[in-house]
Structure 1
Amino acid sequence: MRAVVVEQPGGPQALTVGERPDPTPGPGQVVVQLAVAGVNFKDVYEREGRTRLTPPFVPGCEGAGTVLELGPEVSGLAVGDRVAWWSAPGSYAERVVVAADAAVPLPADITEADAAAMMLQGLTAHYLTTSTYRAVEGESALVHAAAGGLGQHLTRLLAGRGVQVLATVSTEAKAEVARAAGAHEVIVGADPADLAGLVRKSTGGRGVDVVYDGVGLDTFKAGLDSLRPRGTFVLAGAASGPAPALDPQSLAALGSLYLTRPTLVDHATDPAELRSRAAELFEWMRSGAIRVSIGGRYTFEQAHQAHADLQSRRTTGKLLLTPA
């Protein structure tokens, strides 16, 4: 089978297309013919060597396709079923081994492309807004990188509930995307040193109830300084690098803040919980409460360009990868 391979960790050019042995499913696993893979910062971390995978390896974790083969001890799935997943290592390949418990059957009205674009970011937006901090009408939220895939989902869901969303983006073009998703105010290209002041000015000096930060290093301090007393800081990613170390005692000095670093692993690994969240996500997609936003489509041979575009922040929405 063809796959995108990392022979040695490095920059985007470390992604090359090569031949790999066809996989065989083990107990509780299925082999899926890939239709579409999602491109995520997690894949970038793998390529760069941050996750310490042993090369050569196939990056990727998210995708959708058709079940080709069942391993022993698999029930509830059949050859020919369309499924999607967010947590199958090596998803940049024509054939992917997926744990049966992690494979979500797709309803007839959900395409493979839409599913691959939504599994990781859509499920993340689901748990962040329902389990981590359930913002309600009348509250305010700061959403960083609001024109990205996750940022658009968060903005749309929060605004749909009557939450006042303050969004940060890097360009005027991305500001239009954030506004279209429902942001009440957009802060464009602000110096992190000025950001907290702009947020407090927009909230009458009070600060926001919650910060959703998928950027990390560049925005971490400004986000803490943007919160109201007893506000909640949700660190959801590290696109600019890991957030700096923090003395827990400083949270008291900043106003008895709450800080959390949740992960999808802890919210969508249990099979019943995964399927419950996915079912509600699909309903949100049908109703328009959350929308698929595809920012680019690339072939395996263009995987290096997809990673370069993602890291440059030139894109909006989700990037997708197909075998051809």
Structure 2
Amino acid sequence: MSETARTVVFDTPGGPEVMRIEDRPLGEPGPGQLRIRHRAIGLNFIDTYQRSGLYPLALPHPLGMEAAGVVEAVGEGVTHLKPGDRAAYACQPPGAYTEARVMDAAQVCPLPGPISFEQGAAMMLKGMTVEYLFHRTTPLKRGDTVLFHAAAGGVGLIACQWARSEGITLIGTAGTDAKCRLALDHGASHCINYRSEDFVERVRDLTGGRGVDAVMDSVGKDTFDGSLDCLKPLGMMMSFGSASGPVPPVDIAVLGQKGSLKLTRPVLFTHLADHDTCQEMAQHLFAKVLAGDVTIRIDQRFPLDRVVDAHRALEARETTGSTVLEL
């Protein structure tokens, strides 16, 4: 009888309750593949988009985009990893909510010894997202100012530290005073409680009316229009998520009226599709962590059996930092 792995799958789009756990068979890796035994699994907002149907998947389908563990076997042509290596990844297709899996090896990265499996599982998708926002989307330099929404979340706390390490002023937003304090403690220069302040007015005040060089917005519908109003002329709007819902269609003429603004909808997996780029981004992230510039904060842990509770907490915005599923 073939070995199996407990795996979270869903058969129909919907709320957290549509997820269930089943035993799925594990095979041997083919050319360009490996088999990895997970030690920890990362939780991300994109998982909820896929489960809800906002990002459609062929059903039934497993969930999860990042994890860390130990390589058990490699297929022909895999040279950057070998059995027994510690490894971590963020990649398509979904399937990380499992004890073990066979997957393409190109986007799986060697995990440095000083970085724990939990840290690896919590940092790959979020940390490489920050890497491309700051280094691969628009030129940013020391002294620039960015507005970052959801600054106390998993991506946000990494972004706060990353900005501080590179001399970039980061103005964050969050939904409570406690979350604002958390962002400030992690390197944000300012943090705006959007429930008690108008973030557009406050950003204008903080920048002397000039606006920011770039906005990094994963919230989507609720913040998009205000984010454009926070930009200086020729500023860059990076819309990289839809936590509050998808952004409605945009009249491109508005970008000209507001100061010849630039708008992009970047996706991490476009960058990670190239093996060399993926490994380079991971090494950059690992270097930040090993140097102490970035600390990976894990504030919530759920056993795999409680994945429904984990999704409910994430969507209710009850989480801070990163969340991992334990095995």
Q: TM-score, normalised by structure 2?
A: 0.94
* Aligned residue number for residue 166 of structure 2: 161
Alignment of 1:184-195 (within 5 A): 184-190=189-195, 194-195=198-199
* Deviation larger for 85-94 or 48-57: 48-57
* Aligned residue number for residue 20 of structure 1: 24
Cα distance in structure 1, aligned partners of 2:78 and 2:162: 35
* Aligned residue number for residue 276 of structure 2: 272
Mapped contact 2:176–2:195 kept (Cα < 8 A): no
* Aligned residue number for residue 122 of structure 2: 117
Cα distance in structure 1, aligned partners of 2:43 and 2:298: 11
Mapped contact 2:91–2:272 kept (Cα < 8 A): no
Identity within the alignment, %: 39
**Corresponding residue SS for 1:304:** helix
Mapped contact 2:36–2:73 kept (Cα < 8 A): yes
Write the deviation string for residues 298-319 of structure 1: whole angstroms up to 9, x where unpaired: 1111101111111111111111
Q: CA deviation at 1:74?
A: 2.7
- Aligned residue among 5, 29, 36 for 2:40: 36
Cα distance in structure 2, aligned partners of 1:241 and 1:140: 26
* Aligned residue number for residue 101 of structure 1: 106
Equivalent AA in structure 1 for residue 175 of structure 2: S
**Corresponding residue SS for 2:216:** strand
* Deviation larger for 51-60 or 301-310: 51-60
Mapped contact 1:66–1:80 kept (Cα < 8 A): yes
Write the deviation string for residues 263-313 of structure 1: whole angstroms up to 9, x where unpaired: 112222211111111112111001122110112111111101111111111
* Aligned residue number for residue 138 of structure 1: 143
Equivalent AA in structure 1 for residue 155 of structure 2: L
Q: CA deviation at 1:191?
A: 7.0
* Aligned residue number for residue 259 of structure 1: 263
Q: CA deviation at 1:76?
A: 3.1
Mapped contact 1:23–1:95 kept (Cα < 8 A): no
Mapped contact 1:3–1:58 kept (Cα < 8 A): yes
**Corresponding residue SS for 2:237:** strand
Equivalent AA in structure 2 for residue 173 of structure 1: A
**Corresponding residue SS for 1:101:** coil
Indicate whether 1:319 and 2:323 are aligned.
Answer: yes
Cα distance in structure 1, aligned partners of 2:169 and 2:70: 41
Indicate whether 1:59 and 2:63 are aligned.
Answer: yes
Alignment of 1:209-228 (within 5 A): 209-228=213-232
**Corresponding residue SS for 1:145:** coil
Equivalent AA in structure 2 for residue 167 of structure 1: G
Mapped contact 2:26–2:102 kept (Cα < 8 A): no
* Aligned residue number for residue 185 of structure 2: 180
Name stretches of at least 5 consecutive residues in structure 1 with no aligned partner: none
* Deviation larger for 22-31 or 309-318: 22-31
Q: CA deviation at 1:18?
A: 2.0
* Deviation larger for 251-260 or 160-169: 160-169
Write the deviation string for residues 26-54 of structure 1: whole angstroms up to 9, x where unpaired: 32111111111111111111211233323
Q: TM-score, normalised by structure 1?
A: 0.95
Q: CA deviation at 1:139?
A: 2.0
* Aligned residue number for residue 303 of structure 1: 307
Q: CA RMSD in A?
A: 1.6
Cα distance in structure 2, aligned partners of 1:134 and 1:289: 21
Equivalent AA in structure 2 for residue 138 of structure 1: G
Q: CA deviation at 1:24?
A: 3.6
Indicate whether 1:245 and 2:236 are aligned.
Answer: no
Equivalent AA in structure 2 for residue 284 of structure 1: K
